[in-house]
Chains A and B, each alone.
Chain A
Amino acid sequence: MVRRLVALSLVALAAAACSRAAAAPAVRTVQIRIHYSAFSLGHLDASPGETVRFVVTNADPIDHEFIVGDEAVQVAHELGTEAYHPPRPGEITIRAGETVATTYTFGTRDLLFGCHLPGHYAYGMRGTISVT
């Protein structure tokens, strides 16, 4: 009798855990590597409302950034004066040799990503995100 109760309890607990997991929004992880001042990813497709966890590894001996945002955000950072970015969703500084993650939930608009250390964006450190 006791064994049956324990078994039923375990089944109930497992079911509860599964239902909670199913209810939580799925977070997709996207790995990005930076080498020779180039992102390993040039374009990303995302769904409206999707949450993506970007894990960015900087294999270079110099610092880089990963900034997600629209054109206005990119321009603001290109002209900005913030030396290093505090951890904000979609805005991270990745120091030489480090790996940093940031989580971003997309709306409905297409976005861009890039690095705005001096000369880096013009050098080609940028990409596009289509939200469809």
Chain B
Amino acid sequence: MRPLRLAFAIFVGLLALLFAAPAWACGGLVNSNGSVTLVRTTTMAAYHQGIEHYVTSFEFAGGKGEFGSIIPLPGVPTKVIRGGDWTLQRLVQETQPQPEGLFLAAGGALPAAADARVILKTEIDALDIVVLEGGGTAVGRWASEHGFFLPPDAPEVLDFYADRSPIFMAVRFDATRASEQGLSDGDGTPVHVVIPTTNPWVPLRILGLGAAADAPVEADVYLLTDVRPATLPAPLSPGVASALPQGVRPGLVLQASQQASSSLLADLRSDKGMSWLPTSNVWLSYLRVDARAGDLDYDLAIDASGAGRPAPVAAGLDPETTAGSPGTPWFGAALWASLALLLLLGVAGALERRRAGRPAV
């Protein structure tokens, strides 16, 4: 039975963009005592009638300071509202076996870069949310000036996203306010972002921000689309993923791909802000991210039109290297090497068996 931790696996929290915290290290701000830790968040990306509904949840593990994260978005949101109370948990329940009763219990010298433009500001529970438009440098400066601690890979990662979409959502979690509002450790605040776009994608690379290259990144992504989507990278099947040698991380695994049940849709539609969801004919995809941070240099492009042509650019991939292979599996070098090794071992084994069958000379 899968532990609940997988239920909360898309964790923009790993963005490691910590807010100014009490202790100073040599030259920088760090959260030395770890009293405030953004644990993880859950994400659903649904695409219907040209609008991406991005729902994610922020949880915290206590403390008195502030912390936050920055999420790249595929377009300018028209609304950022409090998400429903059970959408994410219900999706987990649909795709992952749960313990009995768990669902019910869940709750200077350079030319100055143009300034980031604040598009939208809102407050949801203990979250202060600002949607920004600007290049990677401008957004990075804005974040630094507003007390975010950006890890050293942030400049490159912000540019990676800004080249595609200059829209970012900065989220500050005020733990003091959370405490005043009675939130306790492990409580989450779901956020629902409504984004009109013709080109939906889900940010994945940013999950590894600030992590060592060999650090594991595990996350879950739920997609709800009108038809069975094609994604880039195309995921592995669970069977192929489980056959990989120990220590090799598959990257992206399609754990479930099915027509959404009527009971799921009814439950989701009854949640706050989810009435836009059709009552039938919705395809549910559950993808598990299991990668090394150093290999996670892509996002998840989605073609929900039925044409089967997810855009390489939307995945942050070079169109030339992926040309002619839309929707085909894309693996990291380590995975290709492992598959080659498996093939080699298979050939060697077959040769050995043939040799063993021959009479001695």
**Which chain A residues have a beta carbon within 8 Å of chain B's beta carbons?**
35-37, 57-63, 65, 77-85, 93, 95-99, 115-120, 122-123, 125
Closest to B140 in A: A61
Q: Is there an interface contact between B155 and A37, defined as CB atoms closer than 8 Å?
A: yes
Q: Is there an interface contact between B26 and A63, defined as CB atoms closer than 8 Å?
A: no
User: Nearest-CB distance from A68 to chain B (Å)?
Assistant: 15
Instruction: Type the 1/0 row for B137-163, where 1 means its CB is closer than 8 Å to any CB of A.
Output: 111110110000111111110110000
Q: When the two chains form the complex, which single residue of A37, A59, A80, A82 contacts B152, counting CB atoms closer than 8 Å?
A: A37
Q: Is there an interface contact between A85 and B27, defined as CB atoms closer than 8 Å?
A: yes
**Which chain B residues have a beta carbon within 8 Å of chain A's beta carbons?**
24-30, 108-110, 112-113, 136-141, 143-144, 149-156, 158-159, 210, 212
Complex contacts, A119 vs chain B, CB 8 Å: 151-152, 210
Q: Is there an interface contact between A62 and B150, defined as CB atoms closer than 8 Å?
A: yes
Closest to A76 in B: B26
Q: Is there an interface contact between B141 and A65, defined as CB atoms closer than 8 Å?
A: no
Complex contacts, B149 vs chain A, CB 8 Å: 118
Complex contacts, A98 vs chain B, CB 8 Å: 108-110
Bound state CA distance, A77 and B26, in angstroms? 6
List 28 contacting pairs A-B, 8 Å CB cutoff, sorted by A: A36-B155, A36-B159, A60-B155, A61-B136, A61-B138, A61-B139, A61-B143, A61-B154, A61-B158, A62-B152, A63-B28, A63-B144, A65-B27, A77-B27, A80-B25, A80-B26, A81-B25, A95-B108, A97-B109, A97-B112, A99-B108, A99-B110, A116-B26, A116-B27, A118-B25, A119-B210, A123-B151, A125-B152
Bound state CA distance, A57 and B109, in angstroms? 7
User: Nearest-CB distance from B27 to chain A (Å)?
Assistant: 4
Q: When the two chains form the complex, which single residue of A61, A79, A99 contacts B144, counting CB atoms closer than 8 Å?
A: A61
User: Nearest-CB distance from B33 to chain A (Å)?
Assistant: 14
In the complex with contacts A79-B26, A80-B26, A118-B28, A61-B110 CB distance below 8 A: no
Bound state CA distance, A79 and B26, in angstroms? 7
Q: Is there an interface contact between A62 and B155, defined as CB atoms closer than 8 Å?
A: yes
Q: When the two chains form the complex, which single residue of B26, B30, B137 contacts A61, counting CB atoms closer than 8 Å?
A: B137
Q: How many A-B residue pairs have CB under 8 A?
A: 100
Q: Is there an interface contact between B27 and A83, defined as CB atoms closer than 8 Å?
A: yes
Complex contacts, A37 vs chain B, CB 8 Å: 152-153, 155-156
Bound state CA distance, A116 and B154, in angstroms? 16
Bound state CA distance, A57 and B151, in angstroms? 19
User: Nearest-CB distance from A82 to chain B (Å)?
Assistant: 5
Complex contacts, B109 vs chain A, CB 8 Å: 57, 97-99
Bound state CA distance, A62 and B30, in angstroms? 14
Q: Is there an interface contact between A62 and B140, defined as CB atoms closer than 8 Å?
A: yes
Q: Is there an interface contact between B27 and A93, defined as CB atoms closer than 8 Å?
A: yes
Complex contacts, A84 vs chain B, CB 8 Å: 27
Q: Is there an interface contact between A117 and B136, defined as CB atoms closer than 8 Å?
A: no
Q: Is there an interface contact between A62 and B210, defined as CB atoms closer than 8 Å?
A: no
Bound state CA distance, A128 and B290, in angstroms? 37
